[in-house]
């Protein structure tokens, strides 16, 4: 997947998210069995992600589980998020959402955000 994404960016099919003063391009995070695509919420990027995932399925013989997949975005209307999710054949999500048990998009300065994490660690540490 990262190779397909690299080629899509190089050929101008995908616009990455740019971070910091140096405008470092970020477009894909991969973990054991999760992949996060990060970029501008545009029709072109959505179409490119759809093509990348289809190519991945064809080349690898694996299937993307779209029932477990979701699409979320920052700075666009929820109706657009839902339209993009429909295009990708997955669920839409809003901020904050949980990823690996951590709230993404929540204000880290609020103690409420940390309560589920503290509770989880407390249970793990209790003997």
pLDDT, tens only, 29-41: 888 888 889 999 8
Is residue 19 located within the same domain as residue 61?
yes
Q: Is 13 helix (H, G, I), strand (E, B) or coil?
A: coil
Q: Which domain holds residue 111?
A: 97-127
Q: Reply yes or no on whether the pLDDT at 54 is more than 90.
A: yes
Q: How would residue 121 be classed by pLDDT, with cut points 50, 70 and 90?
A: confident
What would you measure as the largest C-alpha separation in the chain, in angstroms? Answer: 55
pTM: 0.76
Is residue 26 located within the same domain as residue 68?
yes
Q: Which of 37-51, 76-90, 107-121 has the lowest mean pLDDT?
A: 107-121
Is residue 64 located within the same domain as residue 105?
no
Is residue 78 located within the same domain as residue 109?
no
Q: Is 103 helix (H, G, I), strand (E, B) or coil?
A: strand
The tally of domains found in the chain comes to: 2
| Average pLDDT, integer, range 24-28 | 91
């Amino acid at each position: 997947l990262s190779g397909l994404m690299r080629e899509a960016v190089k050929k101008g099919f995908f616009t990455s998210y740019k971070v910091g003063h140096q405008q470092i391009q970020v477009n894909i995070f991969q973990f054991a069995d999760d992949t996060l695509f990060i970029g501008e919420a545009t029709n072109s990027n959505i179409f490119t992600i759809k093509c990348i995932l289809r190519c991945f399925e064809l080349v690898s013989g694996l299937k993307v589980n779209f029932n477990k997949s979701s699409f979320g975005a920052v700075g666009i209307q929820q109706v657009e998020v839902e339209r993009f999710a429909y295009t990708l054949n997955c669920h839409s999500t809003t901020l904050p959402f949980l990823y690996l048990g951590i709230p993404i998009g929540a204000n880290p300065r609020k103690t409420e955000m940390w309560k589920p994490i503290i509770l989880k660690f407390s249970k793990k540490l209790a003997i």
